[in-house]
Amino acid sequence: MLRATFGRGWLAVAFGILFLASQIKIATILHGADASHLLFAFQFSFNADAFAGLLQTISPEQRAGLQAHFVFDHIHPLWYGGLIVTLAAWLIKQNQLAGQWDLLILLGVIPSVMDVIENSIHEPLFLGTSLPTDPAVTIAAICATIKWSTALGYLLLAIALGIRAAKRQHEETREQKRTA
């Protein structure tokens, strides 16, 4: 049912376009504030002292850029979560894989959920409306680690399934030509 509902190439392309547009906008905001590298440093700060120390070293422009990126980063998980889910469903369908593979479609929302949790912790810290604590900063860093690791896993899966589907298509085409 999941692959039938979400496994449509056009849907994956639509989410891919939305993801790229959103990613470019976020990157432009962060790059314009010279804060691109800082986002990763904050995401992988596992304790409050490291986070607070880093926060004290940034310029007002960098802080403003980090704050401004949230305007788009609040909706961004929807775009890449949709891309992961629809692309996984479409590739699983194209490869005619067994039903248990549908679990990967469902689990494709994990990076988005982790990003939402991470953002809900980081945004108040960048806005100065809360202070970094070890539990909050550690949870955000764990969420970022899970988000990036899972997204990388899905990227590798998409490449592997894409190659497999292309090979299957090539073999089927060759077989049709041979029998014609």
Mean pLDDT, residues 83-107 = 94
pLDDT tens, 26-53? 999 999 999 999 999 999 999 999 999 9
Distance CA 21, CA 19 (A): 6
Q: How far is CA 32 from CA 24, 27, 58, 72, 97, in A?
A: 12, 8, 14, 15, 44
pLDDT over 80 (residue 180): no
Q: Is the pLDDT of residue 104 over 80?
A: yes
At 178, is the pLDDT very low, low, confident or very high (cuts 50, 70, 90)? Answer: confident
Total domains in the fold of the chain: 1
**Residue 81 clears pLDDT 80, i.e. is over it:** yes
| Ramachandran bin of 96, using left for φ above 0, alpha for ψ from -120 to 50, beta for the remaining angles | left
pLDDT confidence tier of residue 176, bands split at 50, 70 and 90: confident
Q: What integer pLDDT is reported at residue 102 of this predicted model?
A: 94
Q: For residue 117, give its domain range.
A: 2-179
Q: Which amino acid is at 38?
A: L
pLDDT category at 179 given cuts 50, 70, 90 is confident
pLDDT in the model for residue 172: 86
- Record the pTM: 0.89
pLDDT mean across residues, the chain: 95
